[in-house]
Amino acid sequence: DPTLNVLSEDWHNSYNSVFGDPFCLHSANYLIRLNTPEVCKVVSTGKVMQAMAEDNGRQTHIIQATNVSDFSLAILFDYLELTKITSQATIKAYIPTHKEEMGQKFLRKSADIINYFSCQFGSYPYEEFKLVFVPMQGFYGMEYSELIFLRDEFLNKNYDLNHSEFILAHEIAHQWWYGLVGNDQIKEPWLDEGLANWSAYKYLDDIKGRKSSSANNLTKNINLVKELTDMGSTTEYYQIAYSGGEAFWFGLEEEIGTDKVFKALRRYLAEYKYKIATTPDLLSVIETEAHKDMEYYFNKWFK
Ligand SMILES: [Zn+2]
C-alpha cells in the first residue's frame, strides 16, 4: 500500500532485505475502495463500511482503518471464518475448510493472549483482530496492523503446539510493539522483535506456567546496536534482534524487578502510542520507572 515517508535525520529510503522486516511507518488513516469477485472473501486491516454487489458477479468494498501502521489485505477463496467476541475485540480466524477444530483452538488462544497483553500493557484499541492461516515458506508468521498471518501447518493436529503458540503470542505482541508503538525496523530491529519475543515468553510463563527466563542467559550482553543493513545473515539477525532483545528484557527484570518492567512498558505505550519511538526514548522511560541511574545496565547492551 502507499505510505507516508518518514523524516528523521533524513528522508528514509526504501530498502528491501532478504531477511527481517525493513519498515518504518507512520501511524495513519486509510480509506480503501476494493473491487473483487463476489465469491472471494476480503480480509483486511480496518472495517468494511460498505459492500456493494454489482450485477456482474463482482463486489465493491469500502474499507476504513484508523490509526494503523499499515494496511494489509488477503483475498481468500474456500476459507472458513470463525468469530469470537471478547471484551477487547471481535476476533476472527480464517482457516482452510476441514480445519475447524484446530481453528477454534487458535481463536480461543488469541482471545487469551489479547486479554493478557491488554491487561499488562494497555488495551487493544481496534474493533477487530484477524488471524489468517496461509501457506508459508521459510518463516512462521507475519504481523500487520489488526491482522496477522500464520503458517497453515499450525492447523495440523500433530504440529508442536508449544512452537505454534509461541509464534501466535509473538505476532500478537507486535500489535503493541510495531502496531501501536512504531519503530525503525531497519535501524533498531531489536526494539520490536526483542519486545515481541519477551512479551510472548511472559504470556507463556504467567498464563501457561512455563519457565523461559533461565534459558536466555547465554545471550546476555550482546551488542544490540546494529542496523539490519549491517547484519550479514539471518542467524545474526535472529541472534541480535530476537535473542539479544529478549535477553535485555529478562536481564532488566533481574535488575529492577518484573513489576517495574511492566510499568515502564505501560508508560512506553502511553507516551508513544501511534508514534515512532527510538532506543533512547525507551531507555529514558525505563530510567524514569526504575527511579535510578541505569547507565551501568544500558552500557552492557549498547556499545
Ligand atoms: Zn516478530
Which CATH number belongs to the domain containing residue 94 in this structure? Answer: 1.10.390.10
Cα of 228 vs centre of ligand 1, distance in Å, is 14
Cα of 189 vs centre of ligand 1, distance in Å, is 9
**Residue finishing a domain among 175, 208, 233:** 175
Pull the grid cell for residue 112. Answer: 487469551
Question: What number is the ipTM of this complex?
Answer: 0.99
DSSP state of 134: E
Cα of 143 vs centre of ligand 1, distance in Å, is 7
Do 295 and 273 lie in one domain? The reply is yes
Residue ranges making up the domain that contains 297: 182-301
Residue 273 burial (CB count, 10 A): 17
Do 131 and 252 lie in one domain? The reply is no
Residue 293 burial (CB count, 10 A): 9
Look at residue 213 in the predicted model and tell me its pLDDT: 60
Pull the grid cell for residue 171. Answer: 505476532
Do 91 and 158 lie in one domain? The reply is yes
Do 153 and 187 lie in one domain? The reply is no
Look at residue 218 in the predicted model and tell me its pLDDT: 54
Do 153 and 203 lie in one domain? The reply is no
Look at residue 123 in the predicted model and tell me its pLDDT: 97
Cα of 263 vs centre of ligand 1, distance in Å, is 22
Which portions of the chain are predicted below pLDDT 50?
Answer: 214
Look at residue 7 in the predicted model and tell me its pLDDT: 75
Cα of 32 vs centre of ligand 1, distance in Å, is 26
| b/e per residue 49-81 (b: at least 16 CB within 10 A) | eeeeeeeeeebebebebbebbbbbbbebeebbe
Look at residue 9 in the predicted model and tell me its pLDDT: 74
Do 34 and 117 lie in one domain? The reply is yes
**Residue finishing a domain among 143, 175, 207:** 175
Look at residue 225 in the predicted model and tell me its pLDDT: 84
Cα of 167 vs centre of ligand 1, distance in Å, is 8
Do 189 and 165 lie in one domain? The reply is no
**Residue finishing a domain among 175, 210, 225:** 175
